[in-house]
Structure 1
């Protein structure tokens, strides 16, 4: 296998919180492999989630890292949202921007407590949908696909998304190990069929004129869960194990993954200032403070009615 690599080799101890892209030109395929550790724990620790909810959010964040690392626009954003009606989980949201991730889950704790220790995806969500949105900031373009939330896992739901919304044959694998006490490690692999290079062409033809996709999919499916989530195994070794017999594999520079939140008291203040004064007074406590909480990081901000009046005086109601 001839391999080209455009960046420095990461130190051997740094195999966590990374996303690695690769291409197999002779097979018209591209792939991503990610592994998250401290960044994942940092996100999960913001909420006291039960184990079943921790696991599904960890899977969603790993999938978000795989999808977000596809963005060519450095300022672009990938948002993954799963929403249901009547499920134990009624909303799950994750997003990715320039390697920075965040996510949260809204769920019914009482109903979850009545379920088995390891509930199925359908038991958690019930009927619902998966929406994936790519926002390209530089060009102003926005792409969104919505598919039913079906399958035994979020990996299967993502495969359905690409097959139905993008007409791109894809294989997705996710692996999560650990717990809140000892720490989590999550790994993921995604490989896709893109005829005529990274950009592809008319996607309706992807299954018709490139039978080598089946070959790539078979090789990728041999990735073991324990390999994806092994913190001692370099991501480049996973690519090598799967595709070392190919004529050429191009490995891209690794991207760093971190936790971050964009909540901002000034933004909350500007939003609240748009409400009529009587509504703002109704939101405030006896001390004249409106408490705003960020769902992603659980941070709380006290916005005073006095500061909102100042917003109107300084610049009008924004």
Structure 2
């Protein structure tokens, strides 16, 4: 027998497991990622407030982008990060696959007379070099809540390649704008969400990089005109979150429980009619407790 009853060999799975392969399988089991057309349509409902929200302020604080540094913002959307960075004088290449989202950002660039942000229609999967995005092109790369790609490792290493100094991304810790573990638990579904940031952390660590993790808390004040609208929206959330992880019979039973849960958790919205930062009016009903979303801010220096 080996001394101290230890096995003859020990393989540490943490360092040998293929986290990117597991990520790929997870993505296949999840709902299909939205395409550019979906975000083109959604862009019609987007507006931008003059001041960055709490999430953006915290992201930029943690990013520690130095004066005069250049930035590549991948999956920029309507420019939540690119606009304040441009206003601060940074040169920013802002890329997104949605022409509609870029169009909203371009209107804001004109409105605010920002001339240092350069929009670029490009996806994570495109040949970046053919779009002029080259290795070592900028000081800092950022990707805010935009890594929903089939190949996590490829996405992270692309950003690392483009940055000269630093990369900063945010990923879901469980709940996200589309999913709420509290609701899933309340209706009898155990959490089926991957901890996306853990995949990123382990992939980066196994590549010899040294990622750091901080957290950004945010809340969502969902509102609805009717109880049926609330049910339809949360039912879509359940369908999206469970994907191929849950048998259809269990999903149907959970959706039945969802109606009872909403009966106890929908209340009158005292702020009905008020307009938010994106120009949307609050509706008649809201959830008793606002949804909470925690984002993992993962950063690494080159």
Superposition TM-score, scaled by structure 2 size: 0.26
Superposition TM-score, scaled by structure 1 size: 0.25
Which protein has the bigger helix share? Answer: 2
Q: Which has the higher contact order (CA 8 A, sep 6+)?
A: 1
Which protein has the bigger strand share? Answer: 1
